[in-house]
């Protein structure tokens, strides 16, 4: 399956990209995606970030689907 990964803020600046398409095994979960992401971008392991799948913040190990949109969100504060 293929997912679209969008990088925002200082993470996009660090990686020098805002969007990436990643191939994952058909039975991938959120935890499996994080492992793949860290293996592709070792430098991300030092960043604090949240992950949204299809515009919803993920707080548990969900099953991913083909064509999911995953956003890597840097820390933010409200005002």
CA distance 55 to 58: 9
Length of the chain counted residue by residue: 79
Write down the domain spans for the chain: 2-73
| Cα 51 to Cα 60, 70, 71, 77, distances in angstroms | 11, 7, 6, 16
What string of pLDDT tens digits covers the 79 residues of the chain? Answer: 999 999 999 999 999 999 999 999 999 999 999 999 999 998 887 888 999 999 999 989 999 999 999 999 988 755 4
pTM of this structure: 0.90
32 half-sphere exposure, CB direction, 13 A CA radius: 14
Homologous superfamily, domain 2-73: Beta-grasp domain (3.10.20.30)
């Amino acid at each position: 399956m293929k997912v679209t990964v969008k990088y925002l803020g200082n993470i996009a600046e660090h990686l020098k990209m805002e969007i990436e398409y990643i191939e994952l095994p058909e039975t991938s979960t959120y935890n499996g995606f994080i492992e793949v992401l860290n293996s592709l971008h070792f430098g991300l392991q030092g960043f604090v970030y949240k992950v949204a799948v299809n515009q919803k913040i993920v707080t548990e190990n969900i099953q991913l689907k083909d064509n999911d949109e995953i956003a890597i969100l840097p820390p933010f504060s409200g005002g």
